[in-house]
Structure 1
Amino acid sequence: MINEEYRDMLGKKSVIRQLSEYATERAKKIGCENVFDYSLGNPSVPVPQAFSDHLAELAASPDPGAVHGYSPSLGITSVREKIAASLKRRFGIDYETEDIFMTSGAAGAIAHALRAVTVPGDEVITFAPYFPEYNPYVNKTGAVLKIVPPDTEGFQINFAEFEEMFSSKVMAVLINTPNNPTGIAYSSDTIKKLAGFLTEKEREFGHDIYLISDEPYREIVFENVDSPYVAKYYHNTITCYSFSKSLSLPGERIGYVAINPACKDAKLIVEMCGQISRGIGHNCPPSIIQLAVAEVIDLTADLSVYETNMNILYKEMTRLGFSCVKPGGTFYMFPKALEEDAVAFCNRALKYDLILVPADSFGCPGYFRMAYCIPTEKVTRSLDAFRKLAGDYC
């Protein structure tokens, strides 16, 4: 007998992936240059040349076992050491090698973090709008995901609703900053207020509450935007990172868990992650990719194009009458649709070969997400399509 739960999921596939597949098929008919695909957050800038050079050197290594063999359960020690040193240098927190666990991207990091600090029946809170895959990430552990309604004025945390929903069953809070889908970075004031609230609730309920910080867009922060390093403000922070966006390596699936050393069980949690892997079939990311990213640990791809694209789109779309909070980072924009039904709006956009993602599955109906990680030349050419789309509502 097959598992009916997963069969049922076939009818609830990712809207983002479905639209991306539609764009691919449409491009076969009219040419890729004529399809303005804002669906999938696939980085558009090249990887740093230094990464490619190191990867080539590793591939030519006279010791293939060291490069292509299994890594230790927690990740290659020298790689973990370099990550800890980089975090300490950049953010002033005394991370050690033993606080780092290597994962298959941020998704793998979240999968381990959730299982380390919750048991079935516990609650995990996150804030709308949120990445839709948080639903299976959390609920498939046996924990229950609770969604705080959005604060659409600025897309910071809706603390009034958050405090109302909080109970002794909450063992973890899952945040994503800078945020997918809004592009908004939580401010220092927001993070301080969140940290203070969680500390108070730990005292009230008499148990640890973990802040799981999903940070694949940490390096994509625009000029003069306040985007603090979350772990500096709360002791029980588990940072989940991916090099997918900073180095343009989404297909390599490489990231890590970093446990704040101030967490009383930091090193124990990392050791537990190695055992969690046994239950979910993770068993470490590729050795060659671990070694390659370690050599460029403080580098990024040229991320400046994303701010350029954002400024072009924000200026024109607000001129056309779209309501939008200006992004502070990432490569996402989150405008309000020009009609109440964002699904209908995005379907209408297809007439102009604009591929936009309705935000119903992000927990924020009436809005849509744009992933503007496409060439700037194409962003500029898409503006005429947006003008035509807006004209339909005049």
Structure 2
Amino acid sequence: MLSEKVLAMTKQKSIIREIFEYGMERAKVVGPENVFDFSIGNPSVPAPESVDQAIYGIMKEQNPVERHGYAPNAGIPSVRETIANSLNRKYEMDYTANNIFMTNGAAASLGILFKVLTNGAEDQIITFAPYFPEYQAYAISAGVHLEVIPADVTSFQINFEVLEEKLTSNTKAVLINSPNNPSGAVYSKETIQRLAALLEEKQKEYGHPIYIVSDEPYREIVYDGFEVSYVPHYYDNTLVCYSYSKSLSLPGERIGYIAFSNRIADADVMLGALVQSARLLSYVCVPSMFQKVVARCVDDTADLSVYAENKKLFYQALVDMGYECVEPGGAFYLFPKALEEDANAFCERAKKYDLLLVPSDSFGCPGHVRISYCVEPERIKRALPLFKKLIDEYKGEK
């Protein structure tokens, strides 16, 4: 008999993956150039040349046993020290290697922390809609409750009124994602400061730490007029989850880290706890080769300016057509309102024009759609007339 919990999850397939797979099948019929797939957040720009140079250098300089051998559970010390030093330069922190734990991307970071920060079904982690749907899977794995705060759809900042109602003595962590997937929203400095002040107050009231888990895979993708605050500056009990999937365009290599300062609660045992939690996820170290690669490219990024140009082109064109959309401050997603109450029905109608969009229900924010614009600019230009036909069709029915 298979696990009932796992079998239940098979009935909750990823809508993003389903649409992506539909697009591949549709391309066989009409040709890939005629399918406008905006479903998946797969970086469209190549990794920087420094990544290839790092790989070549490691292959040339290190013997096979060294370059492919096991790494320590927490990560290669020199790599962790390099990352710590980079963060110290960027954000005026005081990290050391012992404040960095290497992970298989931000997803593994979150799965590890859901286990480390909670003790059972009574505990809760709070997050905010719209949110990345995999957060629910991490909660199921850890056996804890994920409390979702409804979205403020006028700005996609934190809905503090509801948050204050939902905070309880069972709250062990608050999970934030800025720049946000799927809305592209960037939390303002005022939002972060208000959240920090509220949690400081609640920590004293409840007599235990409440951690902020800051999910930051899109940290480097931020646009003019917006600023991504470094959360540990405002709240000591912060754990930062980072991935090189977007900044270096390395999603398939699964490489990232958790960072925490020595001012965090339980700092003396945090690294050891992270190691043991990773064991519960059945891995003992992150791939050695790409730990060494990211250390050599630690201050580099792919050409992220492409996303800024795509956002400028796509967002303004949709708004001019009449779509309602909060301007994204980062990441590579638009999150406009659907043109009818049922976002799933809207996305089905969009397929008539071979526009593949993701309905927002699984993001905890019904009535919207996610549009991933990590695509070639030419594809956006060719898709825009189809978005115009789609909205004109709805207007014609009124």
The letter for the 2-side match of 1:151 is D
SS at match of 1:190: helix
Please state if 1:321 is matched with 2:342.
Answer: no
Please state if 1:100 is matched with 2:91.
Answer: no
Gaps of at least 5 residues in structure 2 are none
Is 1:99–1:267's contact at 8 Å kept on the other side of the alignment?
no
Please state if 1:125 is matched with 2:122.
Answer: no
Is 2:129–2:148's contact at 8 Å kept on the other side of the alignment?
yes
* Offset of residue 29 of structure 1: 1.9
SS at match of 2:240: strand
* Offset of residue 264 of structure 1: 3.3
* Offset of residue 267 of structure 1: 4.2
What is residue 6 of structure 1 aligned with on the other side? Answer: 6
Alignment of 1:30-109 (within 5 A): 30-109=30-109
The letter for the 2-side match of 1:196 is A
SS at match of 1:95: coil
Is 1:61–1:67's contact at 8 Å kept on the other side of the alignment?
no
Is 2:23–2:356's contact at 8 Å kept on the other side of the alignment?
yes
Alignment of 1:259-270 (within 5 A): 259-270=260-271
What is residue 168 of structure 2 aligned with on the other side? Answer: 167
The letter for the 2-side match of 1:365 is P
What is residue 110 of structure 1 aligned with on the other side? Answer: 110
What is residue 230 of structure 1 aligned with on the other side? Answer: 231
* Offset of residue 260 of structure 1: 2.2
Are the structure 2 counterparts of residues 62 and 151 from structure 1 closer, same or farther at C-alpha, using a change threshold of 3 Å?
closer
Ranges of 4+ aligned residues in structure 1 off by more than 6 Å: none
- Inter-partner Cα distance in structure 1 for 2:372 and 2:59: 33
SS at match of 1:140: helix
- Inter-partner Cα distance in structure 2 for 1:139 and 1:158: 24
What is residue 375 of structure 1 aligned with on the other side? Answer: 376
- Inter-partner Cα distance in structure 2 for 1:126 and 1:317: 29
- Inter-partner Cα distance in structure 2 for 1:311 and 1:278: 44
The letter for the 2-side match of 1:373 is C
What percentage of residue pairs aligned between the two structures are identical? 51
- Inter-partner Cα distance in structure 1 for 2:373 and 2:232: 29
SS at match of 1:146: strand
Cα offsets for 1:118-154 (capped at 9, x unmatched): 1112100000010111001122201110000000110
- Inter-partner Cα distance in structure 1 for 2:216 and 2:267: 19
- Inter-partner Cα distance in structure 2 for 1:385 and 1:267: 56
* Offset of residue 385 of structure 1: 1.0
- Inter-partner Cα distance in structure 1 for 2:267 and 2:354: 49
Gaps of at least 5 residues in structure 1 are none
- Inter-partner Cα distance in structure 2 for 1:267 and 1:248: 34
Are the structure 2 counterparts of residues 32 and 267 from structure 1 closer, same or farther at C-alpha, using a change threshold of 3 Å?
farther
* Offset of residue 386 of structure 1: 0.5
* Offset of residue 62 of structure 1: 4.3
Is 1:259–1:270's contact at 8 Å kept on the other side of the alignment?
no
Is 2:360–2:366's contact at 8 Å kept on the other side of the alignment?
yes
Are the structure 2 counterparts of residues 188 and 144 from structure 1 closer, same or farther at C-alpha, using a change threshold of 3 Å?
same
Please state if 1:281 is matched with 2:282.
Answer: yes
Is 1:38–1:372's contact at 8 Å kept on the other side of the alignment?
yes
- Inter-partner Cα distance in structure 2 for 1:58 and 1:27: 39
The letter for the 1-side match of 2:168 is S
Is 1:104–1:253's contact at 8 Å kept on the other side of the alignment?
yes
- Inter-partner Cα distance in structure 2 for 1:270 and 1:27: 47
- Inter-partner Cα distance in structure 1 for 2:374 and 2:280: 35
- Inter-partner Cα distance in structure 2 for 1:105 and 1:380: 32
Is 1:98–1:267's contact at 8 Å kept on the other side of the alignment?
no
Is 1:105–1:244's contact at 8 Å kept on the other side of the alignment?
yes
Alignment of 1:183-222 (within 5 A): 183-222=184-223
The letter for the 2-side match of 1:32 is P
Is 2:130–2:182's contact at 8 Å kept on the other side of the alignment?
yes
SS at match of 2:90: helix
Is 1:104–1:282's contact at 8 Å kept on the other side of the alignment?
no
Is 2:75–2:102's contact at 8 Å kept on the other side of the alignment?
yes
Say how many residue pairs are matched: 394
- Inter-partner Cα distance in structure 2 for 1:346 and 1:127: 23
Cα offsets for 1:338-384 (capped at 9, x unmatched): 11110000000001110000000101110000110000011111101
The letter for the 1-side match of 2:9 is M
* Offset of residue 282 of structure 1: 2.3
- Inter-partner Cα distance in structure 2 for 1:292 and 1:335: 38
The letter for the 1-side match of 2:346 is F
Is 1:99–1:258's contact at 8 Å kept on the other side of the alignment?
yes
